[in-house]
Chains A and B, each alone.
Chain A
């Protein structure tokens, strides 16, 4: 079983739609959670950190469910520019353990 699992998609949605991605992780000791965004053939970039209380940044909302060991990302009012691959990323209890990346969920927003 992979440490971090994501549905690869693609999710094809019209502009203005709301779309949600989930990600599950296997290590219950994980303490740090992130969503990264990666455009085609480009480097990943941090989209947002995921906190226990959940967090929102504009049209993006991230939630963490420790009991079920999953993380979600909700995108409201999708824009064409949101088309990308979204990587779920999990880190260990301390900084000694490097991050583990999911293989990503591809989103295609269509006009």
Chain B
């Protein structure tokens, strides 16, 4: 079984709909992240969480919210989806420790907003 899972893997929705993307991990890591990837722009950080009570905005948090329900779960919500939120979304996890540690990514969720 995969260590970092994301659901759904693909989603097509309409403008204005509320969408939740879910991420679960079995690696026992404290740190979790949400990124979006657009062609030519690379990965951009939306939100990150260093433990259940520590949630931080990333580079592009507007239009998104997150919930860290447990150490193993970190969900991303689009309260009112818009077409420019069409992208590939990745969840990632990493261990604690000094410096930055390797991040392990989920398989991604491809979201299309019509």
| Interface residues of A, Cβ cutoff 8 Å to B | 8, 31-32, 34, 41-46, 49, 87, 91-92, 94-104
- For residue B44, which residue of chain A has the nearest CB? A101
| Interface residues of B, Cβ cutoff 8 Å to A | 31, 33, 35, 40-45, 48, 50, 56, 58, 88, 90, 96-103, 105-108
The verdict on A87 contacting B102 (CB below 8 Å), with A43-B107, A43-B108 known, is no
New A-B contacts (8) at CB < 8 Å, excluding given A44-B105, A87-B42, A99-B45:
A32-B100, A41-B108, A42-B108, A44-B43, A94-B99, A96-B50, A98-B33, A99-B100
Partner of B107, one of A42, A94, A97, A103: A42
What residues of chain B lie closer than 8 Å to A92, measured between beta carbons? Answer: 100
